[in-house]
Chain A
Amino acid sequence: MSSTSQKHKDFVAEPMGEKSVMALAGIGEVLGRRLEEKGFDKAYVVLGQFLVLKKDEELFREWLKDTSGANSKQQGDCYGCLKEWCDSFL
């Protein structure tokens, strides 16, 4: 597997609480703003979507692409970040 970024490590190290959606790995300013416009302004809202898709990678990646225009790497980073967070805290 590819090495995880610092952002990923920071996110999965603690409960997400009220962290902004831009705290997610793979989600920067541009994608974060697009997600916020769609109503996904906090990381936990994206987590909600992730869970309602039953943590399915393919569906989540597609949803993320449709909603924010994330490319493949960004999708993967975000998915991995959320998955690992769920493994630790959910």
Chain B
Amino acid sequence: MSETSRFRSLEGGHGALKGAQTAWDMLSEEQMQKHITTGCEELDAILGGGIHCKEVTEVGGVPGIGKTQLGIQLAVNVQIPVECGGLGGKAIYIDTEGSFMVERAHQIAEGCISDLLDNTAHRLKDFPACPEILQPNSFLANIFYFRICSYTEQIATINYLEKFLEEQKDVKIIVVDSITFHFRQDFDDLALRTRVLGGMSLKLMRFAKKYSLAVVLLNQVTTKFVEGSFHLTLALGDTWSHACTNRIILYWNGNDRHAYIDKSPSLRSATAPFLITGKGIRNATSHCKRVRMM
């Protein structure tokens, strides 16, 4: 018997190490895993294909940079049918700030569908069911929206998701916009805050792994005094910064919006420019640097 097969039968068969997987099995799984496209090819490229499922990704930036836009774009893009290369899943959008504008979501869904019809027309010919699925209203019907007004509701909702996800098996992304809002305002006890946030992030990570979905947490920025000057950094402190698997920072570079991979176990640090257009998040091409009016 070879070394590898002996090792495999040792731990896989009788559950001696319950829940363990060999790295090779994990690699095969990862390679089969689909990613959620952001709409911008360059951004997808530095992300290794898009937002990863089974992982928690944090996205932070200054007000107005486009975090909510990215959140809505992902909630729409997760629904791209499997026939067109997407996940064909549903989305949960947890809104803590009231920044979700449903008309904008409709606009982004329209933009996504029109691009799909343009780019993948050849594939769609074979699938007659698609015209009904590819309607902005059906995309909107697949976004489950929770409006949260206090940190109690935030904790309660994330607890309740356990049950919700058992019933709705198609959900492939959870977007929390933003994870920070209620924890910056209502908490005076920082130790309690750290503990509560830690508990929440563990639960979300568990959902990501168990149900093979992507978790995207939008975060605000704050200033931090480092080495004699103020720097921008994501809110919620140093302990929270360990809680997410990946971290993307959206920022202004001159007049362009850029995304920077700040932390990732498998991707190297890189930046990519992106645009926010009437259709949603798209590539920043050299001839179309101007932001178009909607």
Q: Do A and B bind each other?
A: no
Mark A residues whose CB is within 8 Å of B.
none
